[in-house]
């Protein structure tokens, strides 16, 4: 069931979104050679808790950390570790959530460590722009979920990359994952109808190679099946009478 939010609930979601976005910004500043993923996770947790919020991911389904930090061919759900040290040329996906006032924020981005390969940078850029095109495809009055995924997938394929099919975006609100699913592929004009008050997390996961992924034995970390690089970009967004608001964006 899709839970439509009131104006007051969206206002409260903005606070969760702001804290989430700030934590991700702080994490970005730490993405340097020699830093461990555990150090980044600790910083994220400290900021979220300092703001009076709780890390959305900590303990979620048994997840042991406050952020998902995934490197290179890891797509999502990487577990931070004091033994994972960032190296020059790595691309690092950081996914963060904060819960406060009864609502969650959820956001992710991909960052390069020092100088990265041009094709890796292009992958990151295409992933971010595919998100922007997905948002631009939203028609609050008469659109469908399929409009978002179609815009994302079309652009990704035009650039020679592939979108992950096994994992998708989702509704977000009082629960971290709500209806509807928001795939990064689909047919325009199909799927659940979009309407004012919907709050969803749009999150293209884009692989340099094929779309197939597998889960590692830790039962969390998802990697590309062919070992190719992957990028991830996500914001929680609200559909309002004034258009689409990026709840987790921090300027």
From 181, 245, 203, 173, select the one nearest 68 (Cα to Cα): 203
Phi/psi of residue 126, nearest 5 degrees:
-65, -40
- Residue 202 confidence (pLDDT) above 90: yes
Contact 192, 170 (CB under 8 A): no
Contact 91, 118 (CB under 8 A): no
- Residue 138 confidence (pLDDT) above 90: yes
Report pLDDT digits (tens) over 163-191.
999 999 999 999 999 999 999 999 999 99
Share of the chain above pLDDT 90, in %: 99
Q: What does the pLDDT read at residue 141?
A: 87
Q: In whole numbers, what is the pLDDT of the chain averaged over residues?
A: 98
- Residue 5 confidence (pLDDT) above 80: yes
Rounded to whole angstroms, the Cα distance separating 186 from 7 reads 29
Mention every residue, 6+ apart, whose C-beta is less than 8 A from residue 84.
36, 37, 38, 69, 71, 78
Residue ranges of the domains in the chain? 7-246
Task: Copy the structure tokens of residue 217.
Answer: 């034995």
Mention every residue, 6+ apart, whose C-beta is less than 8 A from residue 238.
5, 10, 13, 197, 198, 199, 244, 245, 247
Rounded to whole angstroms, the Cα distance separating 231 from 70 reads 9
Query: Where do runs of H (alpha helix) occur along the chain?
Result: 7-30, 37-50, 118-136, 145-158
Average pLDDT over residues 5-33: 98
Q: What does the pLDDT read at residue 19?
A: 98
Report pLDDT digits (tens) over 203-212.
999 999 999 9
Task: Copy the structure tokens of residue 18.
Answer: 């702001």
Task: Copy the structure tokens of residue 29.
Answer: 């500043």
- Residue 198 confidence (pLDDT) above 90: yes
Contact 248, 120 (CB under 8 A): no
Q: Output the CA angle 22-23-26, nearest 5 degrees.
A: 85
- Residue 245 confidence (pLDDT) above 90: yes
Assign 36 a pLDDT band (cuts: 50, 70, 90).
very high
CATH number of this structure's domain 7-246, picked from the four choices 3.40.640.10, 3.40.190.80, 3.40.50.2000, 3.90.230.10:
3.90.230.10
Q: What does the pLDDT read at residue 218?
A: 97
Report pLDDT digits (tens) over 50-106.
999 999 999 999 999 999 999 999 999 999 999 999 999 999 999 999 999 999 999
Rounded to whole angstroms, the Cα distance separating 107 from 55 reads 12
Q: What does the pLDDT read at residue 251?
A: 73
Q: What does the pLDDT read at residue 154?
A: 98
Q: What does the pLDDT read at residue 236?
A: 98
Place of tokens 């659109």: 143
């Amino acid at each position: 069931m899709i839970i439509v939010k009131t104006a007051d609930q969206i206002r409260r979601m903005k606070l969760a979104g702001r804290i989430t976005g700030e934590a991700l910004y702080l994490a970005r500043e730490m993405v340097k050679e020699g830093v461990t993923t555990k150090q980044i996770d600790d910083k994220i947790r400290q900021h979220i808790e300092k703001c009076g919020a709780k890390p959305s991911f900590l303990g979620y389904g048994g997840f042991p950390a406050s952020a998902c930090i995934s490197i290179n061919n890891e797509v999502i759900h990487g577990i931070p570790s004091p033994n994972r040290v960032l190296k020059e040329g790595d691309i690092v996906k950081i996914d963060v959530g904060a819960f406060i006032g009864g609502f969650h924020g959820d956001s992710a981005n991909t960052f390069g460590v020092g100088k990265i390969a041009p094709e890796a940078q292009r992958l990151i850029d295409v992933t971010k722009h595919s998100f922007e095109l997905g948002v631009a495809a939203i028609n609050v009055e008469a659109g469908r979920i399929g409009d978002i995924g179609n815009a994302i997938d079309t652009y990704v394929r035009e650039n020679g990359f592939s979108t992950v099919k096994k994992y998708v975006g989702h509704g977000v609100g009082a629960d971290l994952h709500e209806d509807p699913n928001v795939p990064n592929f689909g047919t325009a004009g199909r799927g659940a109808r979009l309407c004012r008050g919907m709050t969803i997390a749009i999150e293209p996961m884009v692989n340099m190679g094929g779309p197939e992924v597998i889960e590692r034995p830790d039962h969390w970390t998802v990697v590309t099946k062919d070992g190719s690089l992957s990028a991830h970009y996500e914001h929680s967004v609200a559909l309002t009478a004034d258009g689409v608001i990026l709840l987790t964006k921090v300027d």
